[in-house]
Structure formats: structure tokens, C-alpha cells
A and B are shown apart, each in its own frame.
Chain A
Amino acid sequence: MSVLLKSLLTLGGLGFALGLALSYFSRKFQTVGDELFEKVKTALPGSNCGACGFPGCEAYAENIIYKDAPLNKCRPGGKEVADKLASILGKVAEVEEPKVAALACRGGKNECAEIFIYDGGRDCRQAYILHSGNKSCIFGCVGLGHCASVCPFGAIRMGDNHLPIIDEKKCTGCGICVSECPKNVLILIPRTKLVYLACVSKDKGKAVKNVCSVGCFTCNICIKACPYGALTMINNLPTMDFSKCTDCGICVHRCPSKSYIDRAKARPYALITPSCNGCGECIKVCQFKAIEGTPGERHKVIVSKCIGCGECYKVCPVKAITMVGALGFQVKVS
């Protein structure tokens, strides 16, 4: 037998035998639910972000099939993936509200002084060990960009002011940055809500004013100003009840320290039409003195002062007020 024939036969035979054995054993060792698992796995986004609470998409798929994990845990996939999973498994998915990460701190290096020169590793967690970082406010953002490096979607970059900037289009609301941040200055807010308090300082009054020019110093103005009772003071911080908030934006404009952030790109303003009977209800309700006029005559809106909260629109008994220029407000819908 020539060497060529021998080697061909050996290699070919070996390959053939191994192939046969493998195909036989793949049948024999097939685990139940393999097909289902593959289907579920392909329905998930596959970015392995871990926001569902399981280590990666594969583990989540396994838990869905074998341990009845809820179908709506995939935050990047949102409703779409939950529906897909539901149709595969023949179950009904409860939909979680889509969220977006937001930075609850406005104290960049210009607003909140750095009290010492930090020369250690360029990592928030490491800087945090040393006197909670070098910012004068012990609650504020360290600003070394750990969130930017852990974001699996590249949605966070560091701004010039040493504060992270979140790209809301790329952010999927997975919450990894929120759990990784050593200072807990990142929060998840409902994607449809426009207004949130960007301060986490639990200090009061002077203690905040001394260290940060944009920190909340517990003045209580926003709480009294909110017409919907959406704000309550907890641990010296006004805490927003998002189910009550209507995004009117009054708190944003009433806050003396500018601690609130308004995500709306533009807001409308009020316009009083000739059908106004001059009752003065709108003047009473306007918190910004943006409406003037003598009783009995048509009132006028001072556009520069109007913030577009819409309170006057709601109280007008003759429906003489309209809100205009609200196109930018549609950020809510998108």
C-alpha cells in the first residue's frame, strides 16, 4: 500500500468515524429545550449588558425557559423584545416603562471646586477611596469617567467640565452606569419624563452653598411651587414622584440654585386670544408674573417671562388661552 493511500485512508477514515460518532452523540446528548433556547437567544439583543440581572443574554434565556424569569427584564430590547419573547413562549409580557440614564449632579469643575490635586489612578472608584474624591462636595460626581468606560453602548462621554454627557439616543436604560457609579450620582428616570432634580447632596443650606454653586440647598421653594404635589422632601432632597409629575417645568424655573434639569429642547408659551374676558384667574395662578392686564380687559402675556407651564391654560374659564411654539416639546413623544 502506498504512503499516499495509507494517509488518505487513515485521515479520511478517522474524520469519517469521528463525524459519525459526533452526530450520533449529538442526538443522544441533546438536552431538552435546545431549539427553544436557540429561539429565545436569538430574540435577545446579545449585547450581554447584564441589565436583566443575569450574567449575559444566554443566562437570561436559560432563566426564562427553565426558571420562569420575567420576560420584560431586557432593558435595551424594551417592549419589542418582550413581545417577541412572549410570542415565542406563548406568554403575556408585562411591559416595563422605558428608562434613560441621567446625571443627578451639575457640579462640574467650574461649579464645585476641587479641594486637592488628585494624582492617582484615573478611575472614579479609586479616587473615591481617597476622601470621596477631590471635589469639595462629598456627594457630587468625581468626574473621572468610570461610567463612560463601562457603558456597553458608548452612550456616555466626558465633557470639558469633567461631567459625563449622556447621549439619550444611544442610552438604552440598562442601568450599568447607575450601579457602577461609586457616588450614586447617576439615576434612571422614565424616558418620557422631562424634569428631574440634578443634585444628590444630603446636606442642608450653607453646607451646600459653600461647596457648590448649583447644589440644592433645601430651600423648599420647589415643593411649595409644585401645583401637583409631586415633590416631597426626603433626606434634605426634594424627591420627585414621577407618576404625579406633569413636566410643567415650574420647579426648574423656580429653583434659585438651578439644580433642576429640563430635558425638553424647547417649551411653548401662552397666548391670550381676544375672547379673554379679563377675569384675572390666570394672573393669580401664574407663578412667574408673566401675565398682566386690568380686570375686565384682554390680558397680555409677557413672553420673556412665560415658561410655558400651561397653568393659565388650565384655569381659564373661557378657554381664551392657547399654548404656541410647542414643537420642541414633542421630545416627549419621540
Chain B
Amino acid sequence: MSISNPGLIFLSAFIVNNILLMRYIGLCPFFGVSTSLTTAFGMSAAVLFVMLLATWVTWIIHRFILLPLDIVFLRTATFILVIAALVQFVEMFLKKNFKTLYTAMGIYLPLITTNCAILGVTLLVINYNFDLARAIIFALGTALGFGLVIILFSAIRERLEFAPIVRSLKGYPIAFISASLVALAFLGFIGFLGLSL
């Protein structure tokens, strides 16, 4: 990605290159917790929070530890390690100091430890050679895009519960089919303000 305009970076991450529907990263929570609106809200809030933090921390580690030592090939392992520890830390911190926020995010916080969307964004940011400010904007856009799609999709899933669906397609199969149709709709954003895949 060669854009440097922060606004365009945000828009690209938010809609055009939506992490769920265009990049197909983070599909496990997408199908796992999109069964109802409330869980979708909880998950997207937790993802927003962790994604921003993780991008910030891993960018710094990459720039000031991995690059000077010339061991960039270790970034995947390092990032997983850092993200897992970070989420644990955040969980403890919230539990002690922000009890309401902790209960609101509930089970989703520890789940995000192994969320590929988080790792994906931290790695993409490195690939695109963003500076710290742009990396954060990219993470913000991606997290909001994740939230937008998962909330949209949970509304669809709630309707699907009641739809007369062939028995063999009930549950996940019809969810995947609907997801592909939503993805097709998002494909229409390509070329929007000159942005491409």
C-alpha cells in the first residue's frame, strides 16, 4: 500500500480492505460471536481496545529491538508473545481498576489473545512501512471495520435464526453463505477514492 494520507489509510482499513470481508483474517470470532448483537458489541469493543494497544507496542518493539539487531524474521514469534502477555496484563489491570469495563468485555478479552486479526494488523503495519501515527490510524480503522462488519452480520444472524432454511444448511453453512454475499457487497467499494485492494 503506497498511500500516506492518514484519512485514506483509515478509510482503506475501515471499508475497502476490510479485515473480515476482504482480507479474510479473524474469521473465528466473526462466526463464533456474531450470533447475537450484544456479544458482537462486546467483542468489537475488546478488539478495538487490544488492537490499538498491540499495534502500538509491537511497532515499538519492531523498530527498537528487532530492526537494530537485524532479526526481523523473528517478528511473528515475538509479536505473539508480546500480544499474549499484553492481553493478560490488560485483563488484570481492568479487573482491578475498571471492574465494569472488565465485566462488559468478559470472556472476549482472553479470547483475543489468539485472535489472528490482531497479529495480522501488527504484521501488516510492518509490511506497509507505516510510521507510528499511521500505524495507529490503520489499527483504528481495521478495528472499527471489524466492529462494523461483526455487528452488521450479527443482525443478519439473528434474522437467520428464524428463517426457514434447509436443514443441512442450518447454522454455520448458511452463515458462511451469507458472509460471502456481504463480502460481495463490500467488493463494490473497490476503487472508492482511488483505493484498491
Interface residues of A (CB under 8 A from B): 3, 6-7, 10-11, 14-15, 18-19, 21-22, 25-26, 29-31, 120-123, 126
Q: Is the CB of A7 within 8 A of B74?
A: yes
Q: Is the CB of A3 within 8 A of B162?
A: no
Q: Is the CB of A21 within 8 A of B85?
A: yes
Q: Is the CB of A122 within 8 A of B71?
A: no
How many chain B residues touch A (CB < 8 A): the figure is 22
Q: Is the CB of B69 within 8 A of A10?
A: yes
Interface string of B79-106 (1 = CB under 8 A from A): 0011001001100110110000000000
A194 and B82 alpha carbons, distance in the complex (Å): 61
Q: Which residues of B contact A3 (CB under 8 A)?
A: 70-71
Q: Which residues of B contact A15 (CB under 8 A)?
A: 81
A21 and B74 alpha carbons, distance in the complex (Å): 22
Q: Is the CB of A14 within 8 A of B69?
A: no
Question: In the complex, what's the smallest C-beta–C-beta distance from B39 to chain A, in angstroms?
Answer: 12
Q: Is the CB of A26 within 8 A of B92?
A: yes
Can you give 19 contacting A-B residue pairs, CB < 8 Å?
Answer: A3-B71, A6-B71, A10-B66, A10-B74, A11-B77, A14-B81, A14-B82, A15-B81, A21-B85, A22-B89, A25-B92, A29-B92, A29-B93, A29-B96, A30-B96, A31-B95, A120-B164, A121-B163, A121-B164
Interface residues of B (CB under 8 A from A): 61, 65-66, 69-71, 74, 77-78, 81-82, 85, 88-89, 92-93, 95-96, 161-164
Q: Which residues of B contact A126 (CB under 8 A)?
A: 162
Additional pairs, 12, CB under 8 Å, beyond known A6-B70, A14-B61: A10-B74, A11-B77, A14-B82, A22-B89, A25-B93, A29-B93, A29-B96, A31-B95, A31-B96, A120-B164, A121-B164, A123-B161
Q: Is the CB of A18 within 8 A of B78?
A: no
Q: Is the CB of B162 within 8 A of A123?
A: yes
Question: In the complex, what's the smallest C-beta–C-beta distance from A252 to chain B, in angstroms?
Answer: 39
Q: Which residues of A contact B71 (CB under 8 A)?
A: 3, 6-7, 10
Q: Which residues of A contact B65 (CB under 8 A)?
A: 10, 14
A181 and B63 alpha carbons, distance in the complex (Å): 59
Known contacts A18-B82, A121-B163, A121-B164; A25 and B89 CB within 8 A of each other: yes
Q: Is the CB of A10 within 8 A of B92?
A: no
A120 and B165 alpha carbons, distance in the complex (Å): 11
Q: Which residues of A contact B77 (CB under 8 A)?
A: 11
Q: Which residues of B contact A25 (CB under 8 A)?
A: 89, 92-93
Q: Which residues of B contact A18 (CB under 8 A)?
A: 81-82, 85
Which 5 pairs across A and B sit closest by C-beta, in order of nearness? A121-B162, A18-B85, A29-B96, A29-B92, A7-B71
Q: Which residues of A contact B88 (CB under 8 A)?
A: 22
A145 and B81 alpha carbons, distance in the complex (Å): 47
Question: In the complex, what's the smallest C-beta–C-beta distance from A72 to chain B, in angstroms?
Answer: 24
Q: Is the CB of A21 within 8 A of B89?
A: yes
Known contacts A7-B74, A21-B85; A29 and B95 CB within 8 A of each other: yes
With CB as the reference atom, state the residue of chain B lying closest to A19. Answer: B85
With CB as the reference atom, state the residue of chain A lying closest to B102. Answer: A31
Q: Which residues of A contact B78 (CB under 8 A)?
A: 10-11, 14
Question: In the complex, what's the smallest C-beta–C-beta distance from A237 to chain B, in angstroms?
Answer: 32
